[in-house]
Amino acid sequence: MSSSEIDVPTQIPESCILGAMMPREDPRDVLVIKKGLPDMTLAELPAGSVVGTSSVRRIAQLSRHYPHLIAKDVRGNIDTRLAKLDAEDGPFTCLILAAAGLLRTGQGARITHYLDSKSGKMLHAVGQGGLGIEIRADDEHMKQMVEKIGDTKTTFACLAERNLLRTLEGGCSAPLGVETEWVRDAEGREKLRLRSIVASVDGKEAVEMEKDEEVKSGEEAEAFGKQVADELVVLGAGRILEAIQQKKKAWGS
C-alpha cells in the first residue's frame, strides 16, 4: 500500500512496516499570495494581514516569527482553499500550503515564495512531500522488491523524522517542525542533518535544535530521531506539548 507519508500514523500496526520511500517531492511549505496583490514575503506583509492555514505547526511558527500577522483557519482541498483566498470579499491575504500538494496537482505557478529555515523561518511537517510504501512485516520478498525502487536517503530522512515525532508522542497535530538534508563534515563524511522546533501555539515558548549524524541504516535513522527527541524534551519540549494537551482537554470538557 502506498500513501502520502504525512498521512501515515507514526504508530502503524505491528504486522506492517514502512518498506521504502519513493524520491521525495519538495517538502517545504510555500507562501501563496492572493491574486492581484504584489509579491511580498511573510516579513513584508502589512500588520494585520490574514494568513490562511489549518496547521497548528504553522500557526505556532507564524506566531513566533511574525507576530504582526493573523492566522485564520481555512479548510478544504487545494482548489477550495485557493478559491477562498482569491474571493474578492474573502478575508485572506495569503495561504501557507505544502509545496508538494501544489506541484502534484499542477498548480506550482501559484507559489509566491518557498519557506524553509533560511527563507521564511518555517520548518515543514514530518514526512511532508514523501510517498511511502507500507508492506507486511513478514513479507521478505516484497521487502526486497520495494527496496530496489525506493530512495534510500529519503527513507532514512523520513524514518528519523517519524521517530522524532513518535518519541515526543505528539501526533500529526503537534506543533513540531522539521527539516532534513544531507551534508558533509570537514572530513568529507556524509551525514543527515535534522533541524527541529517545538513551539507553543502562541509562539512565546520554543525549543529548537540542529544536529548532524552519520546514518547508514533504517535502524540508525530511527535511533537518530529518538536521540533528537530526547534532547528536545530535556530542553523543555515535553513541557510545551503537555501544556498543549492540557488545553485540548479543557476545551473538550
Question: Within a domain: residue 23?
Answer: no
Question: Within a domain: residue 129?
Answer: no
Predicted confidence at residue 155, as pLDDT, reads 92
Q: Kindly report the CA angle at 237 between 98 and 248, in degrees rounded to 5?
A: 75
Question: Within a domain: residue 57?
Answer: yes
Q: What sections of 25-77 are H helices per DSSP?
A: 56-65
Last residue of a domain, one of 70, 97, 115: 115
Predicted confidence at residue 244, as pLDDT, reads 83
The residue segments making up the domain with residue 239 are 148-252
Identify the CATH number of the domain in which residue 68 sits: 3.40.190.10
Band the pLDDT of 252: cuts 50, 70, 90: low
Identify the CATH number of the domain in which residue 164 sits: 3.30.160.40
Q: In this structure, are 97 and 164 located in the same domain? A: no
Band the pLDDT of 170: cuts 50, 70, 90: low
Which candidate in 7, 39, 73, 89 is catalytic?
7
Q: In this structure, are 106 and 169 located in the same domain? A: no
Question: Within a domain: residue 122?
Answer: no
Taking the C-alpha atoms of residue 63 and residue 173, their distance in angstroms, rounded to an integer, is 16
Predicted confidence at residue 21, as pLDDT, reads 85
Least confident of 7-16, 62-71, 141-150: 7-16
Q: What sections of 40-77 are H helices per DSSP?
A: 56-65
| Residue 7 annotated as catalytic | yes
Q: Using CB atoms within 10 Å of the CB of residue 246, give its burial: 0 to 12 exposed, 13 to 18 middle, 19+ buried.
A: exposed
Say if residue 4's pLDDT is above 80: no
Say if residue 122's pLDDT is above 80: yes
Least confident of 78-87, 153-162, 238-247: 238-247
Query: Number of structural domains, the chain?
Result: 2
The stretch 107-122 carries a mean pLDDT of 96
Q: Kindly report the CA angle at 172 between 58 and 56, in degrees rounded to 5?
A: 25
Question: Within a domain: residue 5?
Answer: no
| Cell numbers standing for residue 168 | 515526543
Half-sphere exposure of 72 (CA within 13 A, CB side): 16
pTM of the model: 0.87
Predicted confidence at residue 1, as pLDDT, reads 43
Which residues contact residue 145 at a Cβ distance below 8 angstroms, ignoring those fewer than 6 apart? none
Question: Within a domain: residue 136?
Answer: no
Question: Within a domain: residue 235?
Answer: yes
